[in-house]
Amino acid sequence: MGEQTHWFTDEREVLDKTTVVERFLRYVKVDTQSDEESESCPSTAKQLDLAEILARELKELGLEDAQVDENGYLFATFKGNVEGSPVIGLLAHMDTAPAFSGTNVKPILHENYDGGVIELEDSVVIDPKDTPELKQCIKDTIITSDGTTLLGSDDKAGIAEIMAALELFKAHPELPRPTLRIGFTPDEEIGRGADKFDIEKFGAKAAFTIDGDFIGEVNSETFSADKGTVVFEGVSVHPGTAKGKMVNAMDWAGVFLTRLPQEETPQQTEGREGFFHPTDMTGDAAKVTVNLILRDFDDRKLAERGKRLEQIIDRIRSEEPRLKVELKITEQYRNMARWLTKQPEILEKAMEAIRKAGIEPNHRPIRGGTDGSQLTQRGLPTPNLFTGGVNFHGPKEWISTRAMGKAVCVIVNLVQLWGARI
C-alpha cells in the first residue's frame, strides 16, 4: 500500500470525486464569528457548534480519535501507509472575522461567470476592476454571500479542502501518505488561534495552515513584531498659577508623534518595508500613554526601530528635563522565515506540490502575523497555503469552485510528497 503516487492537476477530478463544495456551503452557514472583547477560549461558544459537526464528520471519515478539547481545538489523526515517514499537520481555523457579520450566511452560486460585475443585496458590487482575480475565473462557478454578510471562505474553504483531501486518501489507499494530524482551531481572527494550541499533543514534524487567498499563494515569511509603550509624565499645577511650572504631558506626546519618521507608516509602506504605527493614546495633562506597534521583516532592523524610538525620547528628555518619559518594548511575534530557512525542505515541498498541481507558486511575504508565525516560533514549523478565496473579512468575499479544487490538488500532492519514498 501507499506505493503509487498520482499527482492531481485537474480540479474537475477533485470536484467530481469529493464533496468539497457541498461541505463548504454547509460550513459557511454555521455562524462562528469570534469576539475580541471576550476573555474566554473559544471567545464565542458558537464556534463549538462547527467543531462538533467537524468532529463527527472526521469520525465518519475514519479519524476515530477526533476530539474537541476544553479550549475548542479539534485534533484528529489519519493514519499513514508509509512506514518511517514524518507526521505532518494540516491546519485551518473555524472562526470568521469580527469585522463583518457572519450570521445567517446565504451562499450564492454564480455559475458560468461571464466576467462582469456581480451585484448583491445592500448595493454590494464585486467588480473585476477592483478584484482582478475575477478575470482569471471566467466560466467558473463563483460563490459569494448575498451581500449582507461575509462569506467565510476564510477559513471554511481551508477546512472543506482538508476534509476533501481526506476523502480522496480514504478512497485511494494506494496513494502514499504519512500519518496526518488534522487541527481545526478557534479564534485565529482575534490573534489567539495559536495561544492554547498544544504542540506536543499535536505531535507533528511540520504543519501547513490552509488559510491564504488566491490560487498559488504560499507564505513562509511574516513580519516580526514588537509593541512599544511610551509613558509621558508631566508636572501638574493649577492652570491659574501654572506659568513657568506646568509641564503638559499631552504637548510632549504630540511632539513625540510628529518626530516619528513620517515616511515609515503603514499608509506609506508596502512589500518588505517596515513601519512604526501609533495605535492608541490615553491620558491627560499629567500623564499620557502612547502605544505603538513596530514591524519589520528583518529582526535586526526591528531592533533598530526600538533604538530609534529611544533616540527620539532622549532628545525630548534633554529639551524638557522636568518631563519623565519611559519606553517599554515587548516582543509580539517573529518572522517565521528565521526557522523555516533552517529546514528548507518544508517550503520546497509546498512549492513542489503547487507546481505539480500545474500552478506557478506565488511566494509572498505576509505584512502581518499568522497562527503559523507563533507555532513556528514555538517549534512547529508552519507555512501557509492558499484556499482560493478573495476579499476576506467583508461582504465582497468570494471564491471559485475551481480554486477550491486546485487547493485540494495541492494538499493531496503535498501529502504524497511527504509520504513518497524518493
Binding site for Zn ion (CB under 5 A): 154-155, 211
Tell the smallest beta-carbon distance from residue 136 to Zn ion (Å).
21
Which helix (H) or strand (E) segment holds residue 332: the answer is strand 324-333
Catalytic residue among 31, 57, 187, 188: 188
> Which residue matches cell numbers 506609506?
268
User: Which of 174, 168, 143, 171 is closest to 156 using CA atoms?
Assistant: 143
Residue nearer to Zn ion on the CB measure, 152 or 216:
152
To the query of whether residue 119 is one of the catalytic residues in this protein, the response is no
3-state secondary structure of 254: helix
User: Which of 143, 127, 32 is closest to 404 using CA atoms?
Assistant: 143
The β-bridge partners of 333 are 225
Q: Taking the chain, what is the end-to-end CA distance rounded to the nearest angstrom?
A: 16
Which three cell numbers, joined as nine digits, stand for 197?
Answer: 494550541
Residue nearer to Zn ion on the CB measure, 228 or 389:
389
Residue nearer to Zn ion on the CB measure, 11 or 155:
155
Tell the smallest beta-carbon distance from residue 245 to Zn ion (Å).
53
> CB of 185 within 8 A of CB of 376?
no
Rounded Cα distance, 378 and 382, in Å:
10
Residue nearer to Zn ion on the CB measure, 155 or 264:
155
To the query of whether residue 95 is one of the catalytic residues in this protein, the response is yes
Catalytic residue among 11, 57, 95, 187: 95
Q: Would the CA dihedral through 111, 113, 116, 122 be positive or negative?
A: positive
The β-bridge partners of 276 are 294
State the burial class of residue 358 (Cβ atoms within 10 Å of its Cβ: 0-12, 13-18, 19+): middle
Tell the smallest beta-carbon distance from residue 186 to Zn ion (Å).
12
Residue nearer to Zn ion on the CB measure, 154 or 226:
154
Tell the smallest beta-carbon distance from residue 148 to Zn ion (Å).
21
Contacts with 9 (C-beta within 8 Å, 6 or more apart), sequence order: 356, 357, 358, 409
Tell the smallest beta-carbon distance from residue 160 to Zn ion (Å).
14
How many residues in total does the chain contain?
Answer: 422
Rounded Cα distance, 410 and 399, in Å:
16
Tell the smallest beta-carbon distance from residue 172 to Zn ion (Å).
29
> CB of 45 within 8 A of CB of 187?
no
Residue nearer to Zn ion on the CB measure, 11 or 154:
154
Tell the smallest beta-carbon distance from residue 93 to Zn ion (Å).
6
Residue nearer to Zn ion on the CB measure, 11 or 211:
211
Instruction: Give CB contacts under 8 A, 24+ apart, made by 128-136.
Output: 131/390, 131/391, 131/396, 131/398, 133/214, 133/390, 134/390, 134/398, 136/215
Annotated catalytic sites, by residue? 95, 188
